[in-house]
Copies of this chain bind each other. A is one copy, B any other.
């Protein structure tokens, strides 16, 4: 006899409901017939009675069965007879699939931002409207008549953009590559998604910084990967930890965000970079380097990417315009060996048939335009200004309650609240008071940490946002 599978991801009651629906549809229980009592079925299936109650309630909601007091649970004529119309159980379909939903905190933040446009937004990891090059893009779109064929794009992405990126990477990132080694993606997000779906298999072990924005992305779990942690200190990750993880778990890939790490802002130490590449090339281990923030370095030259000193070819390099120009362009890129690019371009074609040519063309024009360098200068100035506004506000409002290291680039400040705190309560109280941030647990850290994105709110809102946050914090602590 059939028994529910306790190893399955599907709840027991749903398995039972599915099995009953199947047996009914096969005629085992014809319309009008009586089903086993809840108690009896629970005994047969070796589950709690409450599980059967839930299963029956599901089938009742579907109109498949009917319970009347005194006469037990019967198969309706409604579904299996002559006038039996009902829609699919969409709710159940929406709960299906192997794709995991976003984390509850992330969904809550999205929901709150959707409901209240006036929330002061320290949560969204992107630039404010006034730092995005909207005016420049407008000029470029008006200056450059659109006359290209608007067919499906090259599977690797728009060729002129890839050619511009070859220059960009050489000039700004000291990476020397060819346009056929570049895949254009819908931001870093799609690069990571393609890597987790196409280069790794369920059960593979990978190493991820701790904390890391990667923990906020359920795609790693969706791909069935086992995640192992590389603690980040003020000098970034420790290369020896990678060797240890390789020996213990035979990790297959390492994900690193070495410059102005999200969320900590840490920059990987120079000596550690060399050691890290040594370890990787010794073990034949690929490093995925996500490098979206480097060009925001507030003072001095931006830190170089790992890829620029990777003489062996261990690094898959990912970049994006999202954090330095406009997230709404949805233009990112990956530099990788040809076999990898081909594989990922083929898979991406199946997912979405490639990106629109239009924003890719705008991005290419922006890169080669006289607007790019002044935009970057303005961006760095704005970010530095906003960072200082945030730090001053925190020092003024919460001098004893919060600690942080001052980031030298990037969009985020990573803070620790000194007293013990309930993340969830604090977030709700902050939302109630009109301000929002991301609890650090989203990035894999313990409770009591948080990420403030100073790039996103307007400069004039930063002070009042932190006042509201301080009030929320004091309220939750009291």
Chain A residues within CB distance 8 Å of chain B: 10, 22, 25-26, 62, 79, 84-91, 93-99, 101-102, 107, 110, 114, 124, 126-127, 129, 132, 134, 137-138, 141-142, 145-155, 185-187, 189-190, 193, 197-202, 204, 217-219, 222-224, 246-247, 250, 252, 278, 280-286, 312-314, 322, 326-331, 336-337, 339-340, 342-343, 346-347, 349-359, 362
For A346, the chain B residues whose CB sits under 8 A away are: 101-102, 107
- Return A178 CB to nearest CB of chain B, in Å: 16
Assess whether B314 is in contact with A88, with CB atoms less than 8 Å apart.
Answer: yes
- Residue of B246, B278, B359 near A25 (CB, 8 A) is B246
- Residue of B62, B150, B339, B342 near A326 (CB, 8 A) is B150
Q: How many copies does the complex hold?
A: 2
Cross-chain pairs A/B with CB under 8 angstroms, 18 sampled: A85-B278, A86-B281, A86-B284, A87-B281, A87-B312, A89-B284, A90-B286, A91-B339, A94-B340, A94-B342, A101-B343, A132-B151, A134-B149, A186-B356, A187-B352, A189-B353, A331-B356, A355-B356
For A218, the chain B residues whose CB sits under 8 A away are: 350
Assess whether A148 is in contact with B124, with CB atoms less than 8 Å apart.
Answer: no
Assess whether B151 is in contact with A137, with CB atoms less than 8 Å apart.
Answer: no
Assess whether A150 is in contact with B137, with CB atoms less than 8 Å apart.
Answer: yes
| Further contacts, 15 of them, CB under 8 A, given A25-B283, A87-B314, A99-B197 | A86-B284, A90-B286, A91-B339, A93-B340, A99-B350, A101-B343, A102-B346, A102-B350, A127-B151, A186-B351, A187-B353, A218-B350, A328-B356, A351-B351, A356-B356
A151-B328 contact in complex given A87-B312, A189-B352, A284-B62, C-beta closer than 8 Å: yes
- Return A218 CB to nearest CB of chain B, in Å: 6
